[in-house]
Structure 1
Amino acid sequence: MMRFRAIFPNLIWSCTRSFPSSWLGSSETCTYLSKCFSKRASHATRDGPAVSGHLRNENPDKTREFLDKFQCPDVRLFTKMIVDAVCWNTMIKGCLDCGDLTTAEELFDEMPEPSVERAEKFFKQMPIRDLAAWNAMLHGYCENARVDDAVKLFEQMPSRNVISWTSMIGGLDQNGKSEEALNVFERMFRSGVVPNQTTLMCALSACANASSLPLGVHIHGHVFESGFCLSVFVCASLITFYTNCKNVVICMAFLTGYGLNGRHEDGLKVFSDMMRASVLPNQSSFVSALNSCCSLESLDRGKEVHASTVKLQLGSDVFVGNSLVVMYNNCGAVDDVVEVFKRLGEKNIVTWNATICGCAQHGRGVWAMELFSQMIRGLVQPDEITLTGLLSSCSYSGMLQKGRCLFRYFGENTSIELKHEHFACMVDVLGQYGKLEEANDFVRNMPLKTNFIVWLALLSSCRMHSNLDLAKRAANYILDLELHCSAAYVLLSNFYASANRWVDVSRLRVTMRDKGIVKQPGRSWVTIKGQKHLFLSGDKSHPLSENIYWKLDCLIKKLKELGYVPDKRFSLHDVEDEQKEESLFYHSERLAVAFALITTVEGIIITAMKNLRICGDCHSAIKLIAKIVDREIIVRDSSRFHHFRRGICSCGDYW
């Protein structure tokens, strides 16, 4: 069959390329050959080499003598029914090259229906089918993309040889079923059939398309053992396999390794190199890249990765989508969080929880409640993380009654086990509204044994509402449970400082020093064009410090014109009032905001980060600064995001 299919392309090529110019001067040769081709006589298989030989020797008379045999009407050979369309196309091209448009048109009109249908009919009528006939039919199905019929025929075959297996492996791979092709290859190995060069090439192609590195490496070892490593074609298949498959695996290993070791810049560089080298990232690659963007708090780069997911049609993948939600949330883009959520067709519990918690952190309590309602209507079962997000929404948005109802509902109507973090969240909800005694009773009567996290939530609320007596009691409980809890010492010390009880401040600081407890210094930072700029309070080490302080001095004047009065309670040093005011003016978050104002164009949203809770005086000042410069300023502190716009904050002053 293969000889027969190869004769006609060679024949026409010889006619148009090798014959003397006297033969090419007219279309007689092509006309004659086209008639012979239309007869499709069975002697092609037997006499094909002789015809090709005469053509190569430029002997047209002998060629015509052999071509006469092609007019024999014998149709006994099944092979002649699988005439490839390539042969017809080559004949037509030969006529066109000779300028015989008439014959080319006739050939085009005479082209039969796809030969596989005619071959299928003939195959079913054959009284005896040898293995060659089965293989020919199998190959015909695969070549014409009838892969399901090929599989069915393959399973019906009474016997199989290496050609049968190879045809099936190659057919499945070429029709987008590379995983199934590899399954057939493994079956072949188990059956004891030894693969040939073509089999290995087909299997390597399937490994490349299926990104199956382990099996591909195993096949490489077999190539070496069998001596096929000297084959140019097998070597080319190996190169393709390693290029398409191993590059993704290697890049993924680097992405994961860099991410685990905090080297996120290096990880994103690997991702960029993958894209430039046309190594298509997979689902896991995008998840790793987005996690790195999240850790770097780089919104611009996160959006670039998001654009790539859309181009490769992975933006709707639930795992990639979840990473997008977390990235946008961590970078302060809550509107994008909701937009990604809406566009995701498939959502799992992680999707719902990440979006609800994101809305909570950004002070979008109403959004979080609406999402919870959708979740219930969609029969998605909430879990303990859902409750944490909802209670946080109530705390950050000042929804006292909603928080009480949710806590009661989850405790009485669901199988979710209430944990310490849920009780701490509820204490925070009560504390935001100043319900300190109720919060104290709530802690004392909770069914779980209290831990320092719950008492710490109460201490923080006492600091907010200046209840020193209850704060001291809560601090004692905390230190009994967690002797070296630095947060309790710091909160109580700040409490004493705001009340001008400097003796108590000194005593606490001595105790902290003796116990080796170090207060974490407040620092803030902004990321501009991929570069992080870090600031400490009163810091003048930045190259643009002169411009930063000039900008702040200008803003201070405008703040005072709007009625701003510094709240000296937030100056935690025992100095004169003037010095207290000056120290407040140059807190780290204000330095970061001022730097962003002088280095970005008007209208751009500013996002600053702080490792500690934002200072109350800075919170008041930045609300007015956002109004003065007519820009949105986002500050993320240790617990939540504050979106400052037109003199108000998204937290509603609940933080």
Structure 2
Amino acid sequence: MKTMRIFPAFIRSFKCPSIASIISYYGFSLIVKRMAYSSMAVMNSTKLGTSVWNSVIRNHLRSEKLDEARLVFDEIPSPNIYLFTMMIAGYSRSNRLEEALQLFYEMPVRDIVSWNSLMKGCLDCGNLYMARKLFYEMPERNVISWTTIINGFLQFERIEMAEVLFHKMPSKDTAAWNSMIFGYCSKDRINDALRLFKRMPFRNVISWTTMISGMDRHGESAEALSLFQQMLDSGVIPTSSTFCCALTACANLSAFNQGIQLHAHLVKLGYVFDAFASTSVITFYANCGKIEKSSKIFQENLHINVVTWTALLTGYGLNDKHEDALYVFYNMIRVGILPNQSTFTSALNSCSGLEALDSGKEIHGRAVKLGLDDDVFVSNSLIVMYSKCGDIHDAITVFNDMSSRNIVSWNSIIVGCAQHGCGVLALEFFDWMVNAKVQPDEITFVGLFTACSHSRMLDRGRKFFELLNRGTSIEVKSEHYVCMVDILGRSGKLEEAEEFIEKMPVKANSMVWLALLSACRVYHNLEVGKRAAEHLFDLEPHSSAGYILLSNLYASAGRWNDVSQIRGMMNQRGIVKQTGYSWVTLKGSKHRFVCGDRSHPLSEKIYQRLDLLGAKLKELGYVPDQSFALHDVEHEQKDVMLSFHCERLAIGFALVSTVEGSTIRVMKNLRVCGDCHSAIKLIAKIVGREIIVRDSSRFHHFRDGNCSCGDYW
């Protein structure tokens, strides 16, 4: 019978066979009344009757049948404190706090357990005010009472209040100490946590594990491993969680040998089949560049879940194997594993690495279907993905649709707008950020400087640098100085930029001089350029960038003997020039081109299309700028060389491979040359399509004969 299945323990407690029939016929509510007032022998024992009530109510609560449990509870003539407390806990777990409070105040007698139970229930329901009120109303408190309210304050990030109560505790058990240490670690007060940890009269494995994890998450992974060793020396036996925390520290330090030893311990103790442990092992090997080992561990795992899949996916991304990462993502969906927000974040990061906009949009759609697109971490990754793949409009849409934002959200949209030449919009987002009471950090200012640099906003750049230097507590770092030199250099203020470098409070690094040398190349300033190059060669004598820029500077001035001398120096020192190339990602495949390349299967069609475009360019008055043909050859030869630069080949491929009217997106590893920039503006007008080119500096959006950079990059 159904009733017998639900209450087997209850039925078996009766020796009379007719009881089962009575329950089946009259129903449970009626039999409860009969039990209460019957003089049956089985109920003569008060102890046996109480155990029956306890069992029935407990079974209902375990089955989440709270209303049924209350019906039974109301039939009991004089419920004891234990039954009251059981019901109060049930209401709290179901987030029915009002009913829990009402029942609590109906109790004829309350003990400390019932007070503690309700206080914890208030915290579970998110009502810190009522939990605090109960704590102060308690006639007496034990260590559980104090620890519960301290955990409550920590839960609601009121660490100062938790700290006050902790120091007021008349006696503290290990759980209370552990709670405060965890609270300090979660609020990045790692020194306070360590100080408290050292004062503990007794430390258990939770104490050690909490401190090891906290140190590692705070960036002090070496100290975390030192603590782990101290724990072993003190005779405390680690749990699988402790091993995993230590292994994570090894991953962050790339401490391969120590990590292997920990992995061996996990295998020896049988922890390796634990999902958390196997995930830590996968992450460790991936961080150490042993992604094949991570894949092997994954395949050996018997309990593969979303966390394990995500660890492998993330590992491939860390090792720049983004295609493999996306394969893992689609494979986990195929086998029925639902991705979580961390999975989507890693997958979108791999889309960014591949500039795979189509894949990114597909993954965005999957996130929407699962309701994870509004997660702040997923949204941040979407902003970065769309920005890096050349679609700043969708990046802005994602940002505007976010229900909550963090500092990463603001920085991502500001940097994205800056890279796409939307400098004014980037500054508008910054103003919005300030009005939202979000404090900028060092990355915010890098984004602001980049916006000013790419949008000819010299005065705003100076004001932001003054704000950073004197109006904030943010440390001015080398990248900020590089940005300021870049702003001055792009504005043609080369002497001022050089003077700025000389007055810097820190020694200029190679990036600072490279920024100045690059500006000298644009403005054909040989004198400042030579001085910048000398500093650069002193700092990095084997870096090709400085030699190439100086060589190009000489070539643009027609000083071919100096060009030969620079190239001779490069050969003598074994310095190889970085090959310039451009690529287009189409249907998940990357098509790469170098200058004059004829190896692509569609080369014949590509060159035919570029020849046709060349004729139309001349009709529009285009004249090749031979100063960008950096070889001492005849003029006709220079024109041919310019016509088949790698970015033009990539555009030609896109024109013959994509539908009319669609946006063309080209990526380049070096700076786009000035002649190609002029030509692409006209090509976009001729073909009636938007052409987006991302070079090593920024994105260029070409439309109707114009570029978003305003010929300033």
| Aligned: 1:398 with 2:398 | no
Which residue number in structure 2 is paired with residue 285 of structure 1? 343
Q: What is the CA-CA distance between 1:522 and the residue it aligns to? A: 0.6
Q: Distance in 2 between matches of 1:368 and 1:139?
A: 51
Q: Distance in 1 between matches of 2:334 and 2:496?
A: 60
The one-character-per-residue Cα deviations of 1:302-340 (angstroms, maximum 9, x if unpaired) are 111112222222222222222111111110111122112
| Aligned: 1:249 with 2:307 | yes
**Secondary structure in 1 matching 2:518:** helix
| Aligned: 1:365 with 2:363 | no
- Residues 116 and 140 in structure 1, CA contact (< 8 A), matched pair in contact too: no
1:143/1:379 CA distance change after superposition, 3 Å: closer
Q: What is the CA-CA distance between 1:419 and the residue it aligns to? A: 2.5
**Secondary structure in 1 matching 2:305:** helix
Which residue number in structure 1 is paired with residue 326 of structure 2? 268
Q: Distance in 2 between matches of 1:357 and 1:144?
A: 45
Which residue number in structure 2 is paired with residue 606 of structure 1? 664
Give runs of aligned pairs for residues 426-445 of structure 1, distance below 5 A.
426-445=484-503
Q: Distance in 2 between matches of 1:557 and 1:595?
A: 18
| Aligned: 1:117 with 2:175 | no
Q: TM-score, normalised by structure 1?
A: 0.70
| Aligned: 1:615 with 2:673 | yes
Q: Distance in 2 between matches of 1:482 and 1:538?
A: 31
- Residues 82 and 119 in structure 1, CA contact (< 8 A), matched pair in contact too: no
**Secondary structure in 2 matching 1:120:** helix
**Secondary structure in 2 matching 1:622:** helix
Pick from 606, 620, 630: which aligns with 1:572? 630
Which residue number in structure 2 is paired with residue 162 of structure 1? none
AA matched with 1:6: M
AA matched with 1:5: T
Which residue number in structure 2 is paired with residue 584 of structure 1? 642
**Secondary structure in 1 matching 2:712:** coil
- Residues 7 and 48 in structure 1, CA contact (< 8 A), matched pair in contact too: no
- Residues 298 and 331 in structure 1, CA contact (< 8 A), matched pair in contact too: yes
Q: What is the CA-CA distance between 1:142 and the residue it aligns to? A: 10
Q: Distance in 2 between matches of 1:140 and 1:417?
A: 52
1:284/1:44 CA distance change after superposition, 3 Å: closer
The one-character-per-residue Cα deviations of 1:12-55 (angstroms, maximum 9, x if unpaired) are xxxxxxxxxxxxxxxxxxxxxxxxxxxxxx9997477568899x
AA matched with 1:497: A
Q: What is the CA-CA distance between 1:631 and the residue it aligns to? A: 0.8
Which residue number in structure 2 is paired with residue 343 of structure 1? 401
- Residues 356 and 389 in structure 1, CA contact (< 8 A), matched pair in contact too: yes
The one-character-per-residue Cα deviations of 1:84-127 (angstroms, maximum 9, x if unpaired) are 9x99xxxxxxxxxxxxxxxxxxxxxxxxx95433322223x227
Q: Distance in 2 between matches of 1:446 and 1:573?
A: 37
Give runs of aligned pairs for residues 524-563 of structure 1, distance below 5 A.
524-563=582-621
Q: Distance in 1 between matches of 2:32 and 2:707?
A: 92
1:119/1:501 CA distance change after superposition, 3 Å: same
Give runs of aligned pairs for residues 82-231 of structure 1, distance below 5 A.
115-123=68-76, 125-126=77-78
Q: Distance in 1 between matches of 2:79 and 2:691?
A: 84
Q: What is the CA-CA distance between 1:365 and the residue it aligns to? A: 0.2
Q: Distance in 1 between matches of 2:112 and 2:555?
A: 92
Q: Distance in 1 between matches of 2:705 and 2:316?
A: 41
Which residue number in structure 1 is paired with residue 562 of structure 2? 504
- Residues 70 and 87 in structure 2, CA contact (< 8 A), matched pair in contact too: no
**Secondary structure in 2 matching 1:612:** coil
- Residues 4 and 20 in structure 2, CA contact (< 8 A), matched pair in contact too: no
Q: Distance in 1 between matches of 2:519 and 2:5?
A: 91
- Residues 134 and 157 in structure 1, CA contact (< 8 A), matched pair in contact too: no
1:80/1:464 CA distance change after superposition, 3 Å: closer
Q: What is the CA-CA distance between 1:415 and the residue it aligns to? A: 2.0
Q: Distance in 1 between matches of 2:472 and 2:68?
A: 65
Q: Distance in 2 between matches of 1:140 and 1:382?
A: 45
Which residue number in structure 2 is paired with residue 6 of structure 1? 4
Which residue number in structure 1 is paired with residue 693 of structure 2? 635
Q: What is the CA-CA distance between 1:430 and the residue it aligns to? A: 1.9
Q: Distance in 1 between matches of 2:662 and 2:651?
A: 12
Q: Distance in 2 between matches of 1:141 and 1:402?
A: 59
- Residues 628 and 673 in structure 2, CA contact (< 8 A), matched pair in contact too: yes
- Residues 81 and 118 in structure 1, CA contact (< 8 A), matched pair in contact too: no
Q: What is the CA-CA distance between 1:294 and the residue it aligns to? A: 0.7
Q: Distance in 1 between matches of 2:112 and 2:303?
A: 36
- Residues 384 and 417 in structure 1, CA contact (< 8 A), matched pair in contact too: yes
Give runs of aligned pairs for residues 352-431 of structure 1, distance below 5 A.
352-431=410-489
- Residues 388 and 421 in structure 1, CA contact (< 8 A), matched pair in contact too: yes
Which residue number in structure 1 is paired with residue 549 of structure 2? 491
Which residue number in structure 2 is paired with residue 197 of structure 1? none
The one-character-per-residue Cα deviations of 1:137-160 (angstroms, maximum 9, x if unpaired) are 79997999969989999xx8999x
Which residue number in structure 1 is paired with residue 248 of structure 2? none
Q: Distance in 2 between matches of 1:445 and 1:599?
A: 53
What is the aligned residue count? 518
Q: Distance in 2 between matches of 1:305 and 1:414?
A: 39
Deviates more, 1:510-519 or 1:271-280: 271-280
**Secondary structure in 2 matching 1:535:** strand
Which residue number in structure 1 is paired with residue 357 of structure 2? 299
**Secondary structure in 2 matching 1:556:** helix
Which residue number in structure 1 is paired with residue 121 of structure 2? none
Q: What is the CA-CA distance between 1:558 and the residue it aligns to? A: 0.8
| Aligned: 1:452 with 2:450 | no
- Residues 82 and 140 in structure 1, CA contact (< 8 A), matched pair in contact too: no
Q: TM-score, normalised by structure 2?
A: 0.64
- Residues 387 and 395 in structure 2, CA contact (< 8 A), matched pair in contact too: yes
Deviates more, 1:473-482 or 1:359-368: 473-482
Q: What is the CA-CA distance between 1:600 and the residue it aligns to? A: 0.6
Q: What is the CA-CA distance between 1:252 and the residue it aligns to? A: 1.6
Q: What is the CA-CA distance between 1:246 and the residue it aligns to? A: 3.5
- Residues 485 and 497 in structure 2, CA contact (< 8 A), matched pair in contact too: yes
- Residues 244 and 279 in structure 1, CA contact (< 8 A), matched pair in contact too: no
Q: Distance in 1 between matches of 2:534 and 2:31?
A: 106
| Aligned: 1:329 with 2:281 | no
Q: Distance in 2 between matches of 1:559 and 1:476?
A: 40
- Residues 661 and 689 in structure 2, CA contact (< 8 A), matched pair in contact too: yes
Gap runs ≥5 in structure 2: 38-42, 44-48, 61-65, 105-109, 114-123, 125-147, 152-174, 176-239, 243-265, 274-299
- Residues 489 and 516 in structure 2, CA contact (< 8 A), matched pair in contact too: yes
- Residues 344 and 367 in structure 2, CA contact (< 8 A), matched pair in contact too: yes
RMSD: 4.3
1:624/1:150 CA distance change after superposition, 3 Å: same
Identity %: 53
Q: Distance in 2 between matches of 1:289 and 1:557?
A: 44
AA matched with 1:328: Y
Q: Distance in 2 between matches of 1:143 and 1:481?
A: 64
**Secondary structure in 2 matching 1:593:** helix
Which residue number in structure 2 is paired with residue 518 of structure 1? 576
Q: Distance in 2 between matches of 1:71 and 1:418?
A: 76
AA matched with 1:609: M
1:136/1:375 CA distance change after superposition, 3 Å: closer
Give runs of aligned pairs for residues 468-483 of structure 1, distance below 5 A.
468-483=526-541
Q: Distance in 1 between matches of 2:33 and 2:448?
A: 85
**Secondary structure in 2 matching 1:439:** helix
AA matched with 2:477: K
Gap runs ≥5 in structure 1: 11-41, 55-62, 88-112, 160-171, 173-179, 184-189, 191-212, 225-241
